[in-house]
Amino acid sequence: MSIADTLKGLIFKKPANSAEPRDPRRSKEPLAGGRRAGEAENPYLAARRTWNDHVGSVVSQRQTWQVIGILSLLIALAGVGGVIHIGSQSKFIPYVVEVDKLGQTVAAGPVQAAGKADPRVIHAAVADWMSCARIAGPVQAAGKADPRVIHAAVADWMSCARMVSPDVALQRKCVFKAYSMLAPNDPATPKMNEWLNGTPDSSPFKRAEKEMVSVEIKTVIPQTPDTWQVEWVETTRDRQGTLKGQPVTWRALVTTYIAEVTPNTTDEQLRNNPLSIYVRDYSWSRIQ
C-alpha cells in the first residue's frame, strides 16, 4: 500500500455499515489462541494468523511514521524558507545628515520611502543634481569628513563640556551632548566623568547653585589631521549676573576620530551624533 493510499485511508474512512458481505464462517468474537471460535485448532493456521497480525502492525506503524516524517519535512522546509526570506531583508537604515556652510548639523534623520514621482519631477531633479555635482566637486568618501564639520563639532563639544547654566534642562542637554561624542573605551570618557562628577568646584550642577559660566570659543586650529587646538574664554558671573572676576582664557588639545557605522550602532547614537565624530582624548589648561 502506498503512502497516498494510507493518507486517503486516514482521511476518508469507510463507515462500518459499508463493509463487504461477512463470511458466515467468521465470527465477531475475538481470536482465541490464534484461531476463530468454532474452528478446529490448527497450529499452522494459528501461527500464520499471528504472523500476519504482527506484520500488518509493523506495516501500519511504518506508514504512520512515513506520514509524520513527510509532514515534518514540509514544516522544516517552510521554516527554512521563512528564515531565508527574513535574512534577505536589509538591516541597514540610511540616515541623511544635513550641515550648513559653517559645518553645524542642521537636520538628521532616516530616509523615508517615497512614492512614484512624476517623470518630469525626476527629470528636473536629475538635472539639478548634476549641476550641483559639477559645482561642488566629487562626493567625499565615508570616514573623511570635511575639516569644517570637525571644527564645528569640536567647538560645540568644548562649549558643552565647560558651560555652567542655571537652567537644569539646558545643562543636562549639554552634558548629554558632550557624552554623545565619547566612546566607553576611550581615555576621554573617564576624564570627563571626573570633571563632571568630581568636586563641587568642577561639577556644573553644583556650580550652577551659585554661579554661571559662559564659554566663547576663540580659535579651533588643526595641529595634526586628528588633533585640534582649541582656545576659549570663560566668563563667570553669580546668580544675579554680576561679574566675578576677569574673563579667563583656556587652551586645550582635542584628539578626534570618525567611527564607522556598524549594525550595532543604535538609532539613539545616530540621532545624538549623526556624523559619528568622537573625542579620543583631550587635555586643557588655563593660560591667563
Identify the pLDDT of residue 134: 47
| Cα torsion 50, 52, 53, 58: sign | positive
| Residue 104 to residue 119: CA distance in whole angstroms | 34
Q: What is the DSSP string of 47-93?
A: HHHHHHHHHHHHHHHHHHHHHHHHHHHHHHHHHHHHHHHHHTS----
Q: Are 50 and 34 in contact (CB under 8 A)?
A: yes
Mean pLDDT of the chain: 78
Segment among 1-5, 23-27, 223-227, 272-276 with least mean pLDDT: 23-27
Mean pLDDT of 53-59: 80
Q: In the chain, count of helices (H) and strands (E)? A: 8, 6
Cβ atoms within 10 Å of 196's Cβ, excluding its own: 15
Q: Confidence class of residue 266 from pLDDT cuts 50, 70 and 90?
A: confident
93-114 b/e (C-beta count within 10 Å ≥ 16 → b): eebeeebeeebebeebeeeeee
- Phi, psi (5° rounding) for residue 168? -65, -40
Inform me whether the pLDDT recorded for 29 exceeds 60: no
What are the CA-CA distances from residue 275 to residues 36, 97, 107, 202 (Å)?
90, 7, 11, 29
User: Which domains, ranges and CATH numbers included, belong to the chain?
Assistant: 1-11+51-70 (no CATH), 147-286 (3.10.450.230)
C-alpha closest to that of 219 among 195, 250, 178, 188: 250
pLDDT-based confidence at 16, cuts 50/70/90?
A: very low
E strands of the chain, at which residues?
95-99, 105-110, 211-222, 227-238, 248-258, 277-286
For residue 157, which of 189, 184, 180, 139 has the smallest C-alpha distance? 180
For the cut 50, the answer to whether the pLDDT of residue 57 exceeds it is yes
| Confidence at residue 172, expressed as pLDDT on a 0 to 100 scale | 93
pLDDT in tens, 75-130: 999 999 888 888 877 666 676 666 665 556 655 666 666 556 666 667 667 767 66
What is the distance between the alpha carbons of residues 253 and 230, in angstroms, rounded to a whole number?
6
Q: Which three cell numbers stand for residue 222?
A: 588643526
Average pLDDT of the segment spanning 26-53: 64
* R_g (Cα) of the chain, nearest Å: 40
Residue 50 binned pLDDT confidence (cut-offs 50, 70, 90): confident
pLDDT average, residue stretch 224-245: 92
